[in-house]
Structure formats: structure tokens, C-alpha cells
């Protein structure tokens, strides 16, 4: 069945209406048009509604706000199959990954519901008698959410579920490559609000569909207290500077150039599986995709030949078909970027296995494994496609130095059964995510997610990431009858 035929019943069930003109949605599965979606004409008006909604929502008790997010999780559970299928149709993820993305939304809703009773601060010892000092956390305001194409629904939920329990309203600028997913999520959120009742104000979660200019309007609006932006490093550089210029807050989740190290003591079967999934899964279009691999010289030949066998066995094709592990690239542009990187690697003496374009509608490629003579050129950049650069290394210190020798600092992994090696790596990898005997991709929502350096420094999802969505106040209370000043200062009048 063509994607255009496939999508209509899905959209009907999810409550999505297309329009006769506007932004065109396309499926990377077969390149077919999925229809048009109206673009946002007035971002300022949506932000205005969200600001008004914030004034009401921040007064709703946090556990009650959690109830709305619980309702959202409930609606997502009921619609998981349809929304997962829409993710597959609009961005080309294999079925289990489309469903997995919706599961992540459900998981963050569960997490946020618990969090809604735990938005607590510290009580701090004070130097003044009969005083108490404490920290309190308060709702921040309107949170702008800008998302990338490759996680068209989960990243909104990572941000929105936390922002909503924290008492914020949100305005979402989804990727222009996945507007149908955004409309579907908006319809499901509306249903959750209906079930929740009148306490959810209109405009609590606004949707602004469009391209870069719509994103920029969100970024430049002083009513948006926090801009949480996920995408390329180039986007983050532009967004971060503009938000900083108006003293707004930004949370940046940007590109990665993730590496793994394989040591002689590693469990080879486990390592090959972990590396193959991390490098080829989602057709190399995850921020945490494995892009660089450092293999110890003593096991290099044996390990790389096992990896090549895994590459040869993987099925590339229509992501809706059973047994397919690698779906299409998002568009032709992605193929040009991949082709350019492979050419540059070849020119440097890289030996390429795979990396061929398949002759069929849509942009399908076989994942590329490139044995590189040096850690240079295209190896230093994130190319958003399935290319794994493999280098032979002589020791662990060299591997860790190379792991850290790129601009980005998102995810990293070591495969070893040597405790000392594992601990040294965890201490010295400069990434926000460092794993042992697991690949670089596939984070769980319980942990804080994000990376250092050009990855932007933001943290989303679990742990204490909620603090980014609130403002902190330090309160000092005097319950005595005198007014002692701090640091022994006197001021007698
Ligand atoms: P992209 O940077 O092209 O676009 C991301 C979003 O930013 C889109 O909604 C786009 O319209 C918007 N945008 C672009 N320029 C803007 C500007 N100047 N002002 C405001 N908005 C702007 O990224 P993409 O191609 O959609 O996604 C792939 C990239 O995203 C990769 O680099 C990947 O590593 C990264 N990514 C990072 C994470 C993470 O959590 N660290 C997660 C997913 C994707």
C-alpha cells in the first residue's frame, strides 16, 4: 500500500485535518505527498494565548497539574499504535522504533506525574539566629519547544510533560519535515484536556507549524521564558545567541559525533550487536547514533570482519515491513551529505564497505562502514546518515583522547570486561552520556539526557532536568525580634 493511501485512515482516527494548501508533508518511505498543513500565520498570538494560560495554570496545584499529564499518558496509551504508525509513515522509522517513540512519551508522562509531588527545594543552615533559609521553585512562564525531524513526537513530550507539571505553558514549533505528527499530538493533548476539565486553560499548549522564520519568532519573543531547542549545532548556535541577547533562557539539545571503544577483553558477540544497532539503527539518524569506533589493534581484524558480516546481514527497505531494520533517509539532501562525506573519506584513503544508494522510490542506502587511516576530515563532523568510521588504536588512553577530540560531547561507550578500563573511561569521557557494554543510542527517560560542548549543555527528561523549567528563589525568614545582619555588618538607626 502507498503511504498516501495508508495515512488517511490513520489521520482520521487521530483527529488530524489537513488543509488544501500550506506546508506539504511527504513520506520518506516512497516520496509520496501526504497532503498539506496550514502554516502558523501569527506566532505572537499563540504566544499571547500561552502567556495568558500560564497566569492561570501556575496557580493550579502541582499534583493537580500532574493529573492532566496522567490523562495525556492515558490518551497516548490508547493511541500508541496509530501514532507510532504515523511516525513511521512521516519520518520512516521501522515499526518498533515508531512505537518505541510513543512509549517514550508514555514513560515521560509517568515520570512527570510522580514528579508533580516532588518539586522540592532545600532548607539551608543560616548564620543568623532565629532565621530560616530555604529554596523554593516556581513556575517559569511560557516554554518554547523547537524540535528536529528525527524524534517528531517524543522530544515534545520530554519537554511538555515536565513543563506542564512545573506550571508552565508551552508553544511548540515542530520540524517542518513532520507536521502531521505534530497535529496528531496536538489533537491527543486536546483530548487529554477535555478529560481533565476546565482547569486546563485554552492555549496551554500551542502549536506553531512552519519553518525557520516561525522558529525565529518564538526565539525572539521576550514573553518566552525558556527556549528548549533540539536540532543541529548550527541551529543551536543561532538560537542560543539570539535568546541570550534578550537574557532569555535556552536549553540546547544539539548534534552528536558519538564514539565507542572496543577493548581486547570485550565480549565480542555483545559488542558487535551493540555497535551494529547504535550505528545502523534509525538509518543513522539519531543524535546518539554511533559514528566513530576505536578498536584495539590486537583484536582489530577479527572484530572488523565480524562487524562487516553484521552489516551485510541487515535488511534495508520499507520500514513497515517485518524484518527490515534500516528504513530510508529523510530526504535527498541527506543522501548528498552522506555521499559528500564518503567521497571525502575515500579521498583520505578510507576503505568503504556499503554506502550504496538503492534504486527505488525514496532515499534508501546501505549503511557504510569506513576503515579510516586517520582521525580527521569527515570523521570530525556529524553527517546525519549511517556512516561508521572505524580506526585502529594502540591503547586505551589514545582511544579516550580520540573520543574527546571532536566538537560535540553527546554520547560515548566502552566495551570491556576490565573494571579499571571501564572506570577510567567513565571518569574521562567528556560526554553527557557514557556507557559500559551498551551502545551509544537508546537512552531511557529516567536519566538526564543531553551533552556537553557543541551539543549545547542542556539536560532533558529524567533526574533533576525539571529544574530548567522552573525558577529558583532563595527565601530567608526571620522569626526573631531583632534584625541581625549577615557577615556581622552593623547598621544602627
Ligand atoms: P535542524 O537543525 O535542521 O532543525 C531542527 C529544528 O530547528 C527545526 O524545527 C527547524 O525548523 C528549526 N530551526 C532551524 N534553524 C532555526 C533557527 N535559526 N531559529 C529557530 N529555529 C530553527 O535539525 P534536523 O535536521 O531536524 O535534525 C537533525 C539534527 O538534530 C542532528 O544534528 C541531530 O543530532 C540533532 N538532534 C539532537 C538531539 C539531542 O537531543 N541532542 C535529538 C534529536 C536530534
**Beta-bridge partners for 35:** 25
397 alpha carbon to ligand 1 midpoint, in Å?
33
Per-residue pLDDT, 385 = 98
The predicted model scores a pTM of 0.97
Whether the CB of 76 sits within 6 Å of ligand 1: no
Q: Is 146 in the pocket of ligand 1 (CB under 6 A)?
A: yes
239 lines ligand 1 (CB under 6 A): yes
Q: Of the candidates 289, 301, 310, which has an alpha carbon nearest to the alpha carbon of residue 262? A: 301
Which residues are 415's β-sheet partners?
A: 262
145 lines ligand 1 (CB under 6 A): no
Ligand 1 geometric centre to CA of 172 (Å): 13
252 lines ligand 1 (CB under 6 A): no
Q: How far is the CA of 450 from the centre of ligand 1 (A)?
A: 14
Q: Dihedrals φ, ψ of 146, to 5°?
A: -110, 130
- Residue in 90, 101, 108, 148 to alter for ligand 1 test, most ligand atoms within 8 A of Cβ: 148
Q: Which residues contact 339 (CB under 8 A, 6 or more apart)?
A: none
36 CA to middle of ligand 1, Å?
A: 22
Closest ligand 1 atom to 239 CA: 19
Catalytic-residue membership of 333: no
- β 368-371/387-393 pair status: parallel
The ligand 1 atom nearest the CA atom of 146: 9
Q: Output phi, psi for 260, to 5 deg.
A: -130, 150
**Phi, psi (deg, nearest 5) at residue 184:** -65, -45
Centre of ligand 1 from the C-alpha of residue 381, in Å? 15
Q: How far is the CA of 255 from the centre of ligand 1 (A)?
A: 8
Res 493: pLDDT: 87
Q: Ligand 1 pocket, 98 CB below 6 A?
A: no
The pLDDT value recorded for residue 45 is: 98
Q: Which atom of ligand 1 is nearest to the CA of 410?
A: 41
Q: Which three cell numbers stand for residue 198?
A: 476546565
**Alpha helices, H only, 248-293:** 268-280
**Cβ of 211 less than 6 Å from ligand 1:** yes
* Catalytic residue (one of 49, 67, 176, 253): 253
Supply the pLDDT for residue 26: 97
Per-residue pLDDT 10s for the chain (493 aa) are 789 888 999 999 999 999 999 999 999 999 999 999 999 999 999 999 999 999 999 999 999 999 999 999 999 999 999 999 999 999 999 999 999 999 999 999 999 999 999 999 999 999 999 999 999 999 999 999 999 999 999 999 999 999 999 999 999 999 999 999 999 999 999 999 999 999 999 999 999 999 999 999 999 999 999 999 999 999 999 999 999 999 999 999 999 999 999 999 999 999 999 999 999 999 999 999 999 999 999 999 999 999 999 999 999 999 999 999 999 999 999 999 999 999 999 999 999 999 999 999 999 999 999 999 999 999 999 999 999 999 999 999 999 999 999 999 999 999 999 999 999 999 999 999 999 999 999 889 999 999 999 999 999 999 999 999 999 999 999 999 999 999 999 998 8
Q: Does residue 254 have its Cβ closer than 6 Å to ligand 1? A: yes
Distance 231 CA to ligand 1 centre (A): 2
Interval between CA 150 and ligand 1 midpoint (Å): 9
Q: Are 326 and 316 in contact (CB under 8 A)?
A: yes
Q: Which one of 232, 234, 411 would you pick to mutate in the ligand 1 pocket, going by the greatest count of ligand atoms within 8 A of its CB?
A: 232
Please indicate whether residue 275, judged by its CB atom, sits closer than 6 Å to ligand 1: no
Pick from 257, 207, 213: which is nearest to 238 by CA? Answer: 213
Task: Count CB atoms within 10 A of the CB of residue 333.
Answer: 11
Distance of CA 123 to the CA centre of its chain: 33
284 lines ligand 1 (CB under 6 A): no
User: Mutate which of 213, 220, 231, 236 to test ligand 1's pocket (most atoms within 8 Å of Cβ)?
Assistant: 231
Measured between alpha carbons, how far apart are the two ends of the chain, in Å? 85
Amino acid at each position: 500500500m502507498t503511504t498516501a493511501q495508508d495515512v488517511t485512515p490513520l489521520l482520521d482516527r487521530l483527529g488530524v485535518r489537513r488543509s488544501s494548501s500550506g506546508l506539504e508533508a511527504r513520506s520518506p518511505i516512497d516520496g509520496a505527498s501526504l497532503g498539506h498543513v496550514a502554516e502558523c500565520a501569527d506566532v505572537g498570538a499563540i504566544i499571547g494565548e500561552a502567556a495568558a494560560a500560564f497566569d492561570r495554570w501556575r496557580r493550579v496545584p502541582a499534583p493537580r497539574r500532574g493529573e492532566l499529564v496522567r490523562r495525556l499518558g492515558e490518551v497516548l496509551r490508547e493511541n500508541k499504535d496509530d501514532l507510532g504508525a504515523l511516525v513511521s509513515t512521516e519520518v520512516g522509522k521501522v515499526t518498533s522504533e515508531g512505537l518505541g517513540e510513543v512509549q517514550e512519551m508514555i514513560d515521560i508522562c509517568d515520570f512527570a506525574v510522580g514528579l508533580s509531588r516532588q518539586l522540592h527545594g532545600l532548607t539551608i543552615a543560616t548564620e543568623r539566629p532565629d532565621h530560616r533559609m530555604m529554596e523554593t521553585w516556581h513556575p517559569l512562564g511560557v516554554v518554547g519547544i523547537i524540535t528536529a525531524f528525527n524524534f517528531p513526537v517524543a522530544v515534545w513530550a520530554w519537554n511538555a510533560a515536565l513543563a506542564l507539571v512545573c506550571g508552565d505553558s508551552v508553544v511548540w514549533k515542530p520540524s517542518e519535515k513532520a507536521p502531521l505528527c505534530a497535529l496528531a499530538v496536538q489533537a491527543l493533548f486536546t483530548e487529554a484536556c477535555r478529560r481533565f476539565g476546565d482547569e486546563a486553560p485554552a492555549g496551554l499548549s500551542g502549536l506553531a507549524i512552519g519553518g525557520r522564520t516561525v522558529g525565529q519568532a518564538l526565539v525572539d519573543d521576550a514573553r518566552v521564558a525558556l527556549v528548549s531547542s533540539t536540532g543541529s549545532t548550527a541551529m543551536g548556535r543561532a538560537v542560543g545567541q539570539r535568546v541570550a541577547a534578550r537574557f532569555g533562557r535556552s536549553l540546547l539539545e544539539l548534534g552528536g559525533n558519538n564514539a565507542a571503544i572496543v577493548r581486547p577483553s570485550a565480549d565480542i558477540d555483545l559488542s558487535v550487536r551493540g555497535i551494529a544497532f547504535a550505528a545502523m539503527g534509525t538509518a543513522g539518524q539519531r543524535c546518539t547514533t554511533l559514528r566513530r569506533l576505536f578498536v584495539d589493534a590486537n583484536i582489530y581484524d577479527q572484530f572488523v570482519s565480524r562487524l562487516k558480516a553484521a552489516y551485510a546481514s541487515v535488511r534495508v527497505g520499507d520500514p513497515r515491513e517485518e524484518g527490515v531494520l534500516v528504513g530510508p533517509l529523510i530526504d535527498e539532501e541527506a543522501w548528498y551529505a552522506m555521499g559528500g562525506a564518503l567521497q571525502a573519506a575515500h579521498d583520505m584513503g578510507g576503505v568503504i564497505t556499503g554506502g550504496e544508494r538503492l534504486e527505488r522510490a525514496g532515499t534508501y542506502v546501505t549503511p557504510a562502514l569506513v576503515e579510516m587511516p586517520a582521525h580527521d576530515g569527515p570523521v570530525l563532523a556529524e553527517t546525519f546518515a549511517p556512516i561508521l568510521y572505524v580506526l585502529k588504536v594502540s591503547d586505551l588512553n589514545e582511544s579516550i583522547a580520540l573520543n574527546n577530540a571532536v566538537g560535540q560531547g553527546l554520547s560515548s561507550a566502552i566495551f570491556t570486561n576490565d573494571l579499571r578500563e571501564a572506570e577510567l573511561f567513565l571518569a574521562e569521557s567528556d560526554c553527557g552520556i557514557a556507557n559500559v557494554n551498551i551502545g551509544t543510542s537508546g537512552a531511557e527517560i529516567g536519566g538526564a539526557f543531553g551533552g556537553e560542548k557543541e551539543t549545547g549543555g542542556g539536560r532533558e527528561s529524567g533526574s533533576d532536568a525539571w529544574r530548567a523549567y522552573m525558577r529558583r528563589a532563595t527565601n530567608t525568614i526571620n522569626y526573631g525580634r531583632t534584625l541581625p545582619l549577615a557577615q556581622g555588618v552593623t547598621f544602627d538607626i
